[in-house]
Amino acid sequence: MGWAIETEPARRRGPPRVATRLGAPAPRAPAGGRGVRRRVKRVSAPRRRGTPSAARRHRCAWASREPLLSYHDSEWGQPVHDDRLLFEFLILEGMQAGLSWETVLRKRDAFRRAFVNFNPARVANFTSKDVTRLMNDEAIIRNRAKIDAAIGNAKALAVLQKESGSFDRYVWEFDDKDALSKDLKKRGFRFVGPTIVESFMQAVGIRNDHERGCYRRAELTRARATRPAR
């Protein structure tokens, strides 16, 4: 996700209601007299057993409205193994510090434009002109410390990738937020305290912290069980 706690498929339309005698013509009045009004009983076709409608699914309590709901259903907790996307989540989690995750989600497209789709190699080469550009961009969170940290983290990531092969391989070796936070700080990353790192681990699926009873928790648990060893 997006915050240290601990965003829907199309709604299935019900089958049409049909008459008891499928395809039977409506009764007509007898010839030469007034017709007798008859009631034709209408019943619903039997419901199919299947996936419950999206509206009835039980979700984590925080996923109560958009864009949080869509993020919860399609991204939060889904295992991420792409270095670019991992970098994006790390930076966005840092940007969220002191704010709400909903605020970050609403600015996400603007962040992607401002940070060249979170391409770490390009962000690492940002200059003072880029910093000025970002500080003047009203569509993003204009916090100098967070912007400087994002650029510095891109540079630290380049070194880490050379040492570990990939950011993916590195972060998935950790299952403890304090250990990952400590190691990232040692490598020169900023805005990676335990709370931010915990949110990062939840968002990218290192931890499955969907609430018990949430349908996504069960889905992700099954996916983990059937995923081949990496």
Catalytic residues: 71, 93, 101
Helix (H) or strand (E) holding 28: none
Are 188 and 151 spatial neighbours (Cβ–Cβ below 8 Å)? no
Which amino acid is it at 197?
Answer: V
Which stretches does DSSP call E strand in 92-223?
none
**How many Å apart are CA 69 and CA 59, to the nearest integer?**
9
Give the angle subtended at the CA of 16 by the CAs of 11 and 19, to the nearest 5°.
Answer: 160
Considering all CA atoms of the chain, what is the largest pairwise distance in Å, rounded to the nearest integer?
98
C-alpha 196: how far from chain center: 16
Q: What is the DSSP letter of 39?
A: -
C-alpha 110: how far from chain center: 17
Q: Which residues contact 203 (CB under 8 A, 6 or more apart)?
A: 1, 2, 75, 76, 77, 80, 89, 93
Could you tell me the two tokens for 152?
Answer: 């510095």
